[in-house]
Amino acid sequence: MNTTTFSLSAAAVGLALLVFAHWLGVDYLYFAGYTILQFIVLATAWNILGGYCGYVNFGSAAFFAIGAYSSVFWYKFYPLPVPVLIVFGAIVSGIIGLGTGYLTLRLRGAFFSIATLAMAVVFQTLVVNWDYVGGSRGAYIIRPETVEFAGLEVHYIEYLFALMLALAVIALITARTIERSQLGYGLATIRDDEMAAEACGVPTLRLKLIATTLSGAFMGMAGAPFPYYIGYLQPQSAFGLEYAVNSIAMPMIGGTTTWLGPLIGSILLGSAQQYATVTISSAVNLLIVGLMLVAFVIIAPNGLIGLVQERRRARKQP
């Protein structure tokens, strides 16, 4: 399937989902669906760097929160429409990704991971101390009841759901395009053997920086509408560890080498968590995610996709 066909069919699936959700017309579906879509964007974004290039980013929560807080900043300064905020969130998070990457990606892989972990703590410190965006008290965002969208009066939550759906479609198309492009092959050589790639003339640092920037930008995009979704944003929820762990666990459980892995992982884990949060408790569901992450990296290092591929290969060679 070439890229245009894929993009068109992805958009068609997205549109069909939107129409279906509108036809059902249940508000809870929008709330739950929004969370799952948000995880699709985060997991796909993480995978652009982590899965394709092999560099582990532990700071997904920070990029997400930076996107969210850039929206809060604009909300206090001059309220802009959410799609514009998404662009701003992407720019800020992308630049921060580029900066962190520039300082640490020249060194061994582990340093980048440690720096992203530390970065999350530092940005949380900055936000806690920045009174303009609410500081540690948090910030209230009053979301309008409805919004004019393409000449229609729609519920705000439906509007946010549609935006996040569009973002998820864009993220998946981008990931798949990268996978099949020169950039993707370059990243794969870095993942397999960075020394050899460098020796063959692959501009490793430049490719890594592109991947980090893109990945950070998508995480920022996922975070930008979040204040409008949640209504009250506080540092502890924006920088929550569940974003960091989920955006690693979902691609790892789905499979990291293709765009399909993060998608499958986030749909499975995301809906399981929605279910567990409602029926059991949110702490237990995080425990389950952590245990599944550990179990999967030990038992099925290539995720669900890897399991299916192995099964298929085994059938071909009796």
Partner 1 sequence: MDISWDLLINAIVAGLLLGGFYAAVTAGISISFGMLDIVNIAHPAFVILGSYIAYYVNINLGIDPILVSIIVLPAFYALGALVYQVYYVSFERRGQESLRGLAFFFGLLFVTEVTLILVFGVDYRYVDAAYIGPSLHFGMVEVPLRMLVPCVTALALFAALELFVGRTFIGRAIKAVSQDQLALQLMAADPIAIKRIAFGLSIATASIAGALLIVIQPVEPSVGRDYIGRVFAICVLGGLGSMPGALIAAFLVGVVESLTSTFYGPSWAPAVSFGFLLLTLAFRPAGLMGR
Non-local (6+) Cβ contacts of 137 within 8 A are: 234
Tell me if 94 contacts partner 1 by CB under 8 A: no
Tell me if 289 contacts partner 1 by CB under 8 A: yes
Tell me if 115 contacts partner 1 by CB under 8 A: yes
Question: Which positions from 206 to 245 touch partner 1 by CB under 8 A, shown as an x/- string?
Answer: -----------------------------------x--xx
Residue for token pair 């101390």:
129
Tell me if 84 contacts partner 1 by CB under 8 A: no
The residues with which 153 forms a beta bridge, in sequence order, are 148
Amino acid at position 25, single letter: G
Q: Are 5 and 228 in contact (CB under 8 A)?
A: no
Q: Residue 151: which region, alpha, beta or left (left: phi > 0; alpha: psi -120 to 50)?
A: left
Q: Are 80 and 74 in contact (CB under 8 A)?
A: yes
Stretch in the footprint of partner 1 (CB under 8 A) among 87-95, 144-152, 248-256, 270-278: 248-256
CB of 267 to partner 1, least distance (A): 20
Tell me if 204 contacts partner 1 by CB under 8 A: no
Q: Identify the residue among 8, 80, 84, 291 touching partner 1 (CB under 8 A).
A: 291
CB of 293 to partner 1, least distance (A): 4
Evaluate the CA torsion angle 12, 17, 18, 19 in order and state its sign. positive
Q: Given 3-state DSSP classes, what are the helix, strand and coil percentages for the chain, each rounded to the nearest 5?
A: 80, 5, 15
Tell me if 127 contacts partner 1 by CB under 8 A: no
Question: Which positions from 295 to 314 touch partner 1 by CB under 8 A, shown as an x/- string?
Answer: --xx--x-------------
Site size toward partner 1 (CB under 8 A) is: 44
Tell me if 66 contacts partner 1 by CB under 8 A: no
CB of 301 to partner 1, least distance (A): 6
Tell me if 287 contacts partner 1 by CB under 8 A: yes
Cα separation of 168 and 218, whole Å?
Answer: 10
Stretch in the footprint of partner 1 (CB under 8 A) among 84-92, 122-130, 171-179, 265-273: 122-130
Tell me if 138 contacts partner 1 by CB under 8 A: no
Q: Identify the residue among 160, 164, 207, 293 touching partner 1 (CB under 8 A).
A: 293
Tell me if 249 contacts partner 1 by CB under 8 A: yes
Cα separation of 29 and 146, whole Å?
Answer: 17
Q: Are 300 and 306 in contact (CB under 8 A)?
A: yes
Q: Which class for 148: exposed (0-12), middle (13-18), buried (19 or more C-beta within 10 A)? A: exposed
Q: Cα 138 to chain center, whole Å? A: 23
Cα separation of 37 and 167, whole Å?
Answer: 8
Q: Identify the residue among 10, 21, 54, 91 touching partner 1 (CB under 8 A).
A: 54
* Residues near partner 1, by CB under 8 A: 50, 54, 56, 58, 103-104, 107, 109-111, 113-115, 117-119, 121-122, 124-126, 128-129, 136, 191, 241, 244-245, 248-249, 252, 256, 283-284, 286-287, 289-291, 293-294, 297-298, 301
